[in-house]
Amino acid sequence: MADKDVEQTGEQGYGTEPWWADLGTWGAIALIAFGGLAALILFRLPGTPQELAAGYHGAAKVIAIGLVLVGCTLLNRRDNRAAATEDTN
C-alpha cells in the first residue's frame, strides 16, 4: 500500500476520559470518604478471607483514586498561585 492511499487526519485517537476525571476536589474527598466507609463496613461483615480481601482491594482503589485527585488538585492550585505571583512582580 502506498503512502498516498492512507488518509491521515493528525488526531491521536484517544478514548474518552475516565469517569473520575472531572470530579474536582469535593468529589475526590467524597471518594476517600466512600472508600473508607466501604472498608469499615467490610471490616464488620462476616465472610471468608478471600471475599473480604476482594472488598478491601476495591475500597483501597477508590481511596487511592480520591487521594490522587486531591493531590493533583492541590498541586495545580499551588502552581497557579506561583504563576500569579510571578505575573504581578
What is the model's pLDDT at position 33?
94
Pair 35, 63: CB distance under 8 Å: yes
5-53 pLDDT, tens digit per residue, is 666 566 666 778 877 778 888 888 999 999 999 888 888 777 767 777 8
Helix (H) or strand (E) holding 71: helix 49-88
3-state DSSP assignment of residue 8: coil
